[in-house]
Amino acid sequence: MNIKVTTLAENSVKSRGLYAEHGLSILIEANSKLILFDTGASGLFINNAKVLGKKIEDVDYLILSHGHSDHTGGLKSFLNLNTKAQIICKREILIPKFRGKRENGICDIENIDLSRFIFIDKITEVTKDIFVIPNIKIINKNDTHFSDFELKTKEDRVPDIFDDELFIVINKDDKISLLSACSHRGITNIVSSAREHFPSQKIKYLVGGFHLVDSLPIDTQNIIEYLKSDIPESIGVCHCTGLDSYSIFKNEFKDKVFYNYCGTELYM
């Protein structure tokens, strides 16, 4: 049985009836389970889901990639609508986040019921073939995106190195597909971390935000050089990747690259 992946919210849209926002939310349908990966910046993903014939109230698991508001902004809307899903994330996601003076972590976290939350610190199989990997080792220090991001501790504000970030691996038919929401710790490091658990499978899809929107072309080129040694069959960039970087990927990998718009449906 195929695993279906549908993007419910993203910065861009090209399908009638759907709306875009700066955020990301992806729905996975597998083994008669519904798994939501992030909630975008607002409840917009719920309306898009209705247009696409998806019922958010039926979601079994919500996986949160990290604590930024463009990925968790719809959390309260989700919790108000869905009364059964377990929320999977890292405990570090609860630490308040800032970019400059602006708070950009989970809104009103002190008033959210955490009884439905499952905090993980090791690879976890959510349902058959769907794995969450919470530990992203930084091997390539040049492919990290921490600038201007901070955490608020009891004592002070400190640089955020995104210990709360996680990603998803779909292991199907001897191939793996990787879903990364923002890749603050680097898409090359995410691929390397996936390889620790799945060393030999071909990568079918590499999908998500690569956080290159404010980066130099050389940063994108460095990622391209890395991927040349482990080329996915398809690369779907979106959200924080940036259109300039998308063009560079497209010029290099041609038809292997596509833009993962809101409304895009993939079969793993």
Could you read off the pLDDT of 46-65 as tens digits, one per residue? 999 999 999 999 999 999 99
Over residues 8-36, the pLDDT tens digits come to 999 999 888 999 999 999 999 999 999 99
Confidence band, pLDDT 50/70/90 cuts, at residue 266 = very high
Share of the chain above pLDDT 90, in %: 92
pLDDT value, residue 32: 95
pLDDT given at position 153: 86
Average confidence (pLDDT) over 245-259: 98
Position 1 scores a pLDDT of 72
pTM to 2 decimals? 0.97
pLDDT tens sequence across 130-179: 999 999 999 999 999 999 999 998 888 999 999 999 999 999 999 999 99
Predicted confidence (pLDDT) per residue in 173-217, tens digit: 999 999 999 999 999 999 999 999 999 999 999 999 999 998 999
Angle made by CA atoms 70, 76, 78, in degrees to the nearest 5:
90
- 3-class secondary structure per residue, 114-129: HHHEEECCCCEEEECC
- What are the helix (H) ranges across 12-83? 44-51, 69-72, 75-81
Give the separation between CA 245 and CA 263, rounded to whole angstroms.
21
Q: Determine the residue type at 139.
A: I
pLDDT at 68: 98
Confidence of residue 109 (pLDDT cuts 50, 70, 90): confident
Class of domain 4-267: alpha beta
**Domain range annotation of the chain:** 4-267
Are 174 and 201 contacting, i.e. CB atoms less than 8 angstroms apart? Answer: yes
pLDDT given for residue 14 in this prediction: 87
248/118 Cα distance (integer angstroms): 38
Mean pLDDT of the chain: 96
Give the residue-averaged pLDDT of 55-80.
98
